[in-house]
Chains A and B, each alone.
Chain A
């Protein structure tokens, strides 16, 4: 964090790893921003993911003439969250206004139109970036003969087993030997993991594909997809 923000931004624009590091360093700022906003139609975890994606998008689209990065990304996060809340509000057949400041109506309408155009651009950009990460993720999974359509049925529905899978995947990512074994054999190092986590072969086999998908995700440069993983949002990776 000692490095000036400007130079970190330049690096982050060129490197996903740097972008993710910057995101993690600014996670407390993002969380504070979310909690300062009213409106609770969307669950906190979902809002956090949306805000993190907006932050990453902010890194890509920020230019110096737009003022301070924090101010810029702050507006970006706010607009994305308002947009998501409106989508949810429309779904529930009611309009939700989160910004309750007493602005002049005309100015408000005009600025909304401007914001809307910028938001639309940002959302398309974000979609393109996320789509490209998904494409690469899909190709990596193919090496393990795993398709996206396989994952919903093998993914644990309950939080407990899901967290266990996350811990196992995290262990494989951290332990170079385990990771090399997985890359080489395209199979999980079952013996080591069974001993380390005191679990049965049956459990490991049941969640095998989900664990491998998590390993691929955690090991790769997927800053946008990482915002969907709770452990990444906690900044513990």
Chain B
């Protein structure tokens, strides 16, 4: 409430002099007379404008906030350990998920959240623990899925050239595959508790040997699965001979392999 002196009342409107030295027109109340000190409520346009500005800011902010927290692209890095990076519209990591214990140990000592996906992938493949697995398995598989096709191609381009090159330079003789996956593969992979990369390798194995147990192969390293594909192709297969232990696999180095539809070195 404000206090003012009534200067004039005309046609239901009163001109008041406020205590800040300003003049204001308000609706005159019954009984008001010239010279009277009255209390009145001022229409606060500032408040209305502030509220509107807040609402506008919220409306502008909400879609941006939604885009920030919603995964748009999924990058999987499989050596065994298997890691999946969820990337938002702005190319930032919103989560890094470990699909086995080895991956858990690696991610425990890393902070990838909010980092640019390029920096995150580079940091991941340079991790000392992961490097030991790479040395042991001599096989790395990168896959990408994105709701945005352009983004998918951009990420794939980065993985094929920069990330794969990084691995090859530091681990001579290591085979690096990169390819995109479709939504169904990603969903099936999640359903089976693995990455899209490993699931796509298992799918490939299934083509060679339809009798294999998908769940069981999720514990194998992608290198082992690739070897098994090779063996099946040549009339042998691994299932039953190996259990878990992809991460501590003694399979050793794998030779260069060729995979249909893959981006290879």
User: Which A residues are closer than 8 A to B by beta carbons?
Assistant: 41-43, 45-46, 48-50, 53, 84, 87-88, 91, 126-135, 137-138, 148-149, 151-152, 155-157, 159, 162, 166, 210, 213-214, 225, 227-231
Contact = CB atoms under 8 A, between A and B. Distances in A.
Given A42-B1, A127-B35, A130-B35, A149 B10 contact: yes
B15 to A, nearest CB: 4
Given A134-B34, A148-B23, 8 more contacts: A43-B3, A46-B19, A49-B19, A129-B35, A148-B8, A162-B20, A162-B22, A225-B5
Contacts of A48: 19
A230 B21 contact: yes
Interface residues of B, number: 25
19 contacts: A45-B20, A46-B2, A53-B37, A84-B39, A87-B39, A126-B37, A127-B35, A127-B37, A132-B35, A138-B8, A148-B23, A149-B8, A151-B15, A151-B23, A157-B22, A162-B22, A210-B23, A225-B17, A228-B5
Which one of B21, B36, B39 has the greatest number of beta carbons of chain A within 10 Å? B21
Q: Which of B10, B18, B35 has the most CB of A within 10 A?
A: B35
B32 to A, nearest CB: 11
A31 B184 CA distance: 77
Given A43-B2, A134-B34, A149 B17 contact: no
Interface string B89-132: 00000000000000000000000000000000000000000000
A137 B35 CA distance: 12
Contacts of A152: 15, 23-25
Contacts of B19: 43, 45-46, 48-49, 227-228, 230
A141 to B, nearest CB: 10
Contact of B21 (A127, A138, A228): A228
Interface string B31-46: 0011111010000000
Given A127-B33, A130-B5, A88 B39 contact: yes
B7 interface: yes
Interface of B: 1-5, 7-8, 10, 13, 15, 17-25, 33-37, 39
B250 to A, nearest CB: 79
Given A127-B35, A131-B35, A49 B7 contact: no
- Which 5 pairs across A and B sit closest by C-beta, in order of nearness? A131-B35, A46-B3, A151-B23, A130-B35, A148-B8
Contacts of A166: 21
A148 B15 contact: yes
Contacts of A135: 34
A41 to B, nearest CB: 8
Contact of A91 (B23, B37, B39): B39
A156 B5 contact: no
A228 B35 CA distance: 12
A149 B22 contact: no
Nearest to B13: A149
Contacts of B5: 130, 134, 225, 228
Contacts of A213: 23
A227 B17 CA distance: 10
